[in-house]
Amino acid sequence: MEYPQIIKAPADQHTVIPNIENYDQSRNALTWNTIRNELDIFDNDHINIAHITIDRHLKTDRREKKAMIWESKKGDVEEYTYAEMARLSNKFANVLVNKLGVQKGDRVFFFLERIPEIFIGIIGTLKAGGVIGPLFSAFGPDAVKDRLEDSGAKVLVTSPTLKKKIIDIFPELPALEKIVLVNRNKKTLDPDDLSYEELMEGASENFDIARTHKEDYAIIHYTSGTTGKPKGAAHVHEAIIGQYATAKYVLDLHEDDIYWCTADPGWVTGTSYGMFGPWSNGITQVIYEGGFSAKNWYSFLERYNVSVWYTAPTAIRMLMKAGDELPRQYNFDSLRYMCSVGEPLNPEAVVWGEDIWGKPFHDNWWQTETGSIMIANYPIQDVRPGSMGRPFPGITAGILDEDFNELPPGEEGNLAIKPGWPSMFRTYWQKDELYQSRFKNGWYISGDKARQDDDGYFWFVGRADDVINTAGHLVGPFEVESVLIEHPAVAEAGVIGKPDPIVMEVIKAFVSLKEGYEQSSELLREIQLFAKKRLSMAATPREIEFLPSLPKTRSGKIMRRLLKARELGLPLGDTSTLEDD
Ligand code: ATP
Ligand code: MG
């Protein structure tokens, strides 16, 4: 399939990003200060994410507006207004400070299902001046222990079921003083368990939000573990400036939007854009506790009239796998704008969005470390399928050579950002040396390879670790994978370099098939031929192997390092974020 070079932005698109069209990177167009002035910050040096996100709206018409509509796995619905979110998070802040002795800077971790209490608890902790750490509920005991130990967490908020899963780790966590259990199903608790419900019942509804300094820590987010052991990226309260601005201009949130972010609060997308970004903009968001299935998701989009939808390439590929007939059975008239993050978004997926919804997915690029979106496709800009878009105003992105000097457009190199944006991580927790090593020659080095075209659009090549060196050519796995998934039988593809005595590395591809296709040597040859026709000699996979599914992180990212380790019979390394088969 030949992709259109560009997908034109709709002519009636009125959301204007200040001066982005002629943004000259001078930072004059949209400065962080202009953004700061839109928000009700305490003063130039003091800001609290919880205040900007929730409580500042209480002085406005948004007071009784719905902040969160939550649908449980069973289909029960709960709705919370901004005023209720403020009231409940005040109570939780009082619980922390008055009943659990939490002081400013103490780490409070959440190992909870995707239920309202995780949202309330996180806002409450920030109000109390604590540092939050959300953990994905599907983690096993070792993954939870590593993160609680590394962060020195003092309080853990969890549920009876999840506590049972990790019961053995507690004796090994001396810093952990209190365990609070959210007991929605009213199970009998152990005598020394603290009940969230009981603690909340007696707590006052009034709380003076901590006047945190803009550089005070607010969140520790562990990275996804795609390339190695997860690191604890620590963010400060100032981060909200970047999250607010990008939610407004990249996710294009408007006052009457119904917004759905599909990421779990355990990942940075689930907090930056599943709490702080949308709520600082006063938006109503819907939260779905249930798991993924194409049917569930389509009917959720329809049922809640979702207008802005933020999801990930892996989910889009799974929806594509379920076929084109299914989505046509639903009414998506409300759906106005769709975005994607987390992995490269194959052009095939962008075009598929156009086909099914008449609008493309808008890809954007950022990392746990960057805290907010750095490079994006915007509503007013034409989409170039396969491109991550252009830097957000106020962000300077560059492509650097191996000595960390800037390269001209067209050349591949290290994707880097000029430090100083509000939501930049301020350290890797307990690993400051590693943090320092990520800054070179006045740039933050992202660890990804990319190139820029003449119009300033950035194109992802691959993670630096995944780029393949074959016969003197550097090949990014993304390019090869994108071609493979264009084949009608291929659902997913993961590409690695396999050491070779002659050409250094040869390209090996692993593919999983769509439903209805059977593995066979003919199909293998057909896919090989298909790839050969579309790729340069160097980029054509020498070997292709079928796998029932590819190893992925729990956030859905293909773990190429595992494909490689398995292929070479090497140790697998940290697999704490590996999805169960
Ligand atoms: P770890 O750092 O532990 O290996 P990770 O890098 O996957 O895990 P995250 O911070 O969640 O952890 O992911 C950021 C990375 O995801 C980016 O560095 C990039 O490789 C990839 N990524 C995110 N968005 C995009 C995108 N739009 N296009 C291409 N790659 C993306
Ligand atoms: Mg990373």
Q: Is the CB of 368 under 6 A from ligand 1?
A: yes
**Cβ of residue 414 lying under 6 Å from some atom of ligand 1:** no
What pLDDT was estimated at residue 24? 42
Q: Is the CB of 367 under 6 A from ligand 1?
A: yes
Residue range 529-534: mean pLDDT, rounded: 95
DSSP result, 421-485 = -TT---EETT-HHHHHHTEETTEEEEEEEEEE-TTS-EEEEEEGGG-EEETTEEE-HHHHHHHHT
Minimum mean pLDDT range among 384-398, 402-416, 441-455: 384-398
**Per-residue pLDDT at 15 exceeds 70:** no
Mean pLDDT in residue range 420-432: 96
In the block, tokens 């019979």 appear at 569
Examine the pLDDT at 193 and tell me if it is beyond 60: yes
In angstroms, what is the span from residue 481 Cα to ligand 2's centroid?
20
CA distance 565 to 27: 44
* 247 within domain boundaries: no
DSSP 64: G
Q: Is the CB of 364 under 6 A from ligand 1?
A: yes
Query: For residue 581, what pLDDT is reported?
Result: 54
Q: By alpha-carbon position, which residue is closest to atom 29 of ligand 1?
A: 344
Report the nearest atom of ligand 1 relative to the CA of 225.
3
Q: Which residue has the least CA distance to atom 21 on ligand 1? A: 343
Residue nearest ligand 1's atom 18 by CA? 367
Between residues 271 and 22, the one the model is more confident about: 271
Of how many residues is the chain composed?
581
Give the residue numbers spanning the domain of 515.
468-568
pLDDT at 101: 97
Give strand pairing partners of 236: 217
pLDDT digit string, tens, across residues 240-268: 999 999 999 999 999 999 999 999 999 99
In which band, very low, low, confident or very high, does the pLDDT at 282 lie, cut at 50, 70 and 90? very high
Contacts of 378 (CB under 8 A, 6+ apart): 17, 20, 249, 250, 252, 362, 389, 390
Is residue 324 assigned to a domain? no
pLDDT at site 554: 85
Pocket test for ligand 1, best of 222, 362, 367 (most atoms within 8 A of CB): 367
Check: CB of residue 493 under 8 Å from CB of residue 476.
no
225 lines ligand 1 (CB under 6 A): yes
For residue 469, list its beta bridge partners: 474
pLDDT class of 17 with cuts at 50, 70, 90: low
Q: In ligand 1, which atom is closest to the CA atom of 577?
A: 3
Report the separation in Å between the CA atom of 226 and the middle of ligand 2, taken as the mean of its atom positions.
Answer: 7
Q: Of ligand 1's atoms, which has the minimum distance to the CA of residue 463?
A: 20
What are 306-319's pLDDT values in tens digits?
999 999 999 999 99
Does 280 map to a domain?
no
How confident is the model over 345-354, as a mean pLDDT? 91
Q: Please, how many CA atoms are within 13 Å of residue 325, restricted to the half-sphere of its CB? A: 0
Instruction: Among 174, 207, 226, identify where a domain stops.
Output: 226
Answer yes or no: is 175 within a domain. yes
User: Of 319, 446, 321, nearest to 388 (Cα)?
Assistant: 446
- Residue 116, domain member (yes or no): yes
Residue whose CA is at the smallest distance from ligand 1 atom 5: 224
Distance 229 CA to ligand 2 centre (A): 10
Q: Closest ligand 1 atom, CA of 365?
A: 27
Across residues 117-124, what is the average pLDDT? 98
Q: Could you tell me the CATH number of the domain that includes residue 559?
A: 3.30.300.30
Cα 223 to ligand 2 centroid, rounded to whole Å: 6
Residues 6+ apart with CB under 8 A from 13: 379, 380
Strands 308-311 and 337-340: parallel
Average pLDDT over residues 267-276: 97
- Indicate if the pLDDT at residue 7 is higher than 80: no
Answer yes or no: pTM beyond 0.75: yes
pLDDT tier at 229, thresholds 50, 70, 90: confident
Whole-angstrom CA distances from 110 to 129, 378, 389 are 16, 33, 34
CATH of the domain at 109: 3.40.50.12780
Q: Please tell me whether residue 78 adopts helix, strand or coil conformation.
A: strand
Question: Whole-number mean pLDDT of the chain?
Answer: 93
- What's the CA-to-centroid distance between 236 and ligand 1, angstroms? 20
CA–centroid distance, residue 225 to ligand 1 (Å): 9
User: Is 353's C-beta closer than 6 angstroms to any atom of ligand 1?
Assistant: no
| Closest ligand to Cα 553 | 1
Q: What is the pLDDT of residues 484-494, one digit of tens each?
A: 999 999 999 99
36 Rama class: left (phi>0) / alpha (psi -120 to 50) / beta? alpha
Question: How many angstroms does the Cα of residue 431 sit away from the middle of ligand 2?
Answer: 15
Nearest CA to ligand 1 atom 23: 342
In this prediction, residue 21 has a pLDDT band, given cuts at 50, 70 and 90, of: very low
Q: Give residue 5's pLDDT band: very low, low, confident or very high (50, 70, 90).
A: low
Q: Whole-angstrom Cα distance, residue 210 to residue 203?
A: 17
Q: Is 37 part of a structural domain of the chain?
A: no
Q: Which ligand is nearest to the CA of 268?
A: 1
3-state secondary structure 406-427: ECCCCCCEEEEECCCCCCCCCE
Regarding the beta carbon of 466 and ligand 1, being less than 6 Å apart is answered no
Alpha carbon distance 144, 554 (integer Å): 14
Rounded CA separation 111/113 (Å) = 7
Of the given ranges (25-34, 120-129, 352-361), which has the lowest mean pLDDT? 25-34
**Pocket flag, ligand 1, residue 363 (CB < 6 Å):** yes
Residues 166-180 have pLDDT tens digits of 999 999 999 999 999
CA–chain centroid gap for 514, Å, is 26
Query: Closest-lying ligand to the alpha carbon of 574?
Result: 1
Distance CA 414, CA 348 (A): 25
Asked whether the predicted pLDDT for residue 1 surpasses 70, the reply is no
Query: How many structural domains comprise the chain?
Result: 2
Going by DSSP bridges, is the β-strand pair 258-261/308-311 parallel, antiparallel, or unpaired? Answer: parallel
At 389 the pLDDT is: 94
Q: Which ligand is nearest to the CA of 467?
A: 1
Instruction: Return the pLDDT at 192.
Output: 81
Q: Is residue 441 part of a domain?
A: no
Question: Above 50 in pLDDT, residue 119?
Answer: yes
**CA torsion, points 307, 266, 566, 369, in degrees to nearest 10?**
90
Q: Which mutation among 224, 384, 461, 575 tests ligand 1's pocket best, with the greatest number of atoms within 8 A of CB?
A: 224
Query: Where among 171, 195, 226 does a domain terminate?
Result: 226
Instruction: Find the farthest-apart pair of alpha carbons in the chain and give their distance in angstroms, rounded.
Output: 72
What is the residue whose two structure tokens read 């790839």? Answer: 531
Distance 366 CA to ligand 1 centre (A): 7
Domain presence at residue 104: yes
CA-CA-CA-CA dihedral for 441, 447, 449, 454, to nearest 10 = -50
- Which is higher by pLDDT, 3 or 291? 291
The pLDDT of residue 23 is above 60: no
Higher pLDDT, 366 or 536: 366
- The CA distances from residue 373 to 49, 247, 368, 380, in Å, are 17, 8, 10, 17
- Ligand 1 atom closest to Cα of residue 368: 10
Pick the last residue of a domain from 226, 243, 266: 226
Position 8 confidence tier, pLDDT thresholds 50, 70, 90: confident
Ligand 1 binding pocket includes 226 (Cβ within 6 Å): yes
Nearest to 456 by CA among 378, 401, 372, 391: 391
Q: Sorting pLDDT into bands at 50, 70 and 90, what band is 11?
A: low
Sequence letter at residue 567? E
Q: How far apart are CA 87 and CA 123, in angstroms?
A: 11
Quote the DSSP letter at residue 179.
E
Atom 1 in ligand 1: which residue has the minimum CA distance? 225
Mutational pocket test of ligand 1: of 448, 479, 578, the residue with most ligand atoms within 8 Å of the beta carbon: 448
Q: Out of 149-153, 211-215, 534-538, which region has the weakest mean confidence (pLDDT)? A: 534-538
